[in-house]
């Protein structure tokens, strides 16, 4: 009877662990980023002329949609261009051919966030919890079918997000933080926020 009790207890604990891992109870809550915090980010371009600039220059006159580790918003590129708002990606590192492998999946400029501002102010990591979350596996399969494989190097456990930032001091109009790998923002929410941007004259 003792071995059966121990076995049932272990099974119960495993089931409870899997259940909890698939809820939001175990996830680190995102800290909201301020406009000042994001403006101060040092971004390094990834083209032929690697130069570093302050992030503020991306949205100062026109506003911008800034993606930290997402690629699905490329489908909005044409609509964003019609509205005069750039779509840019910010990545936390460039290891090996990571950015070149990412380019076919993203239709905009790509920058390296030198101090990881777009992943903070409280940097969140998924950790081993991601391997038992159903949503992570669904998102992984979706990305894999689309041809995006990523890599197994560097800080792969850090969660990203999407920001719609208005021109000048209009502020952050939309902030979506991944709650798990591949948790994407709704395109309609992005467009709705972009339409509220008032460009500087």
Please give the sequence-ordered ranges of beta strands (E in DSSP) within 93-148, or none if there are none: 109-113
As a whole number of angstroms, the distance between CA 197 and CA 166 comes to: 5
Pick from 166, 183, 184, 199: nearest CA to 65: 166
Per-residue pLDDT of the chain (201 residues), as tens digits, is 567 666 665 555 555 555 545 555 555 666 778 899 999 999 999 877 789 999 999 999 999 888 875 567 788 888 999 999 999 988 888 877 778 877 877 878 889 998 988 887 766 665 555 555 565 555 556 655 665 555 544 455 677 788 999 999 899 999 988 766 566 788 899 999 999 999 887
CA dihedral 158, 161, 165, 171 (to 10 degrees): -70
Q: Which residues contact 184 (CB under 8 A, 6 or more apart)?
A: 70, 72, 139, 178
The structure tokens listed for 150 are 């990523």
As a whole number of angstroms, the distance between CA 87 and CA 111 comes to: 11
As a whole number of angstroms, the distance between CA 141 and CA 120 comes to: 27
- Whether pTM > 0.75 for this model: the answer is no
Say what the pLDDT of residue 141 is.
Answer: 61
Chain-centroid distance of CA 17 in Å reads: 26
Distances (CA, A) of 74 to 19, 27, 106: 34, 28, 6
The structure tokens listed for 12 are 């119960």
As a whole number of angstroms, the distance between CA 118 and CA 38 comes to: 7
């Amino acid at each position: 009877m003792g071995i059966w009790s121990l076995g049932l207890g272990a099974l119960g604990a495993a089931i409870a662990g899997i259940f909890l891992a698939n809820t939001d109870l175990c996830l680190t809550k995102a800290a909201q980023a301020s406009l000042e915090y994001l403006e101060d980010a040092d971004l390094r371009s990834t083209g032929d002329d690697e130069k570093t600039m302050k992030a503020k220059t991306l949205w100062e006159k026109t506003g911008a949609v800034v993606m930290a580790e997402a690629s699905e918003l490329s489908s909005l590129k044409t609509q964003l261009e019609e509205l005069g708002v750039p779509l840019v990606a910010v990545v936390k590192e460039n290891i090996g051919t990571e950015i070149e492998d990412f380019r076919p999946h993203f239709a905009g400029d790509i920058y390296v966030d030198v101090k990881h501002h777009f992943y903070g102010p409280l940097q969140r990591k998924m950790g081993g919890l991601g391997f038992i979350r159903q949503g992570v596996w669904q998102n992984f399969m979706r990305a894999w079918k689309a041809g995006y494989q990523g890599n197994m190097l560097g800080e792969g456990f850090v969660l990203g997000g999407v920001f719609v930032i208005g021109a000048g001091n209009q502020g952050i109009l939309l902030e979506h933080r991944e709650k798990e790998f591949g948790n994407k923002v709704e395109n309609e929410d992005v467009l709705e926020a972009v339409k509220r941007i008032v460009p500087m004259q």
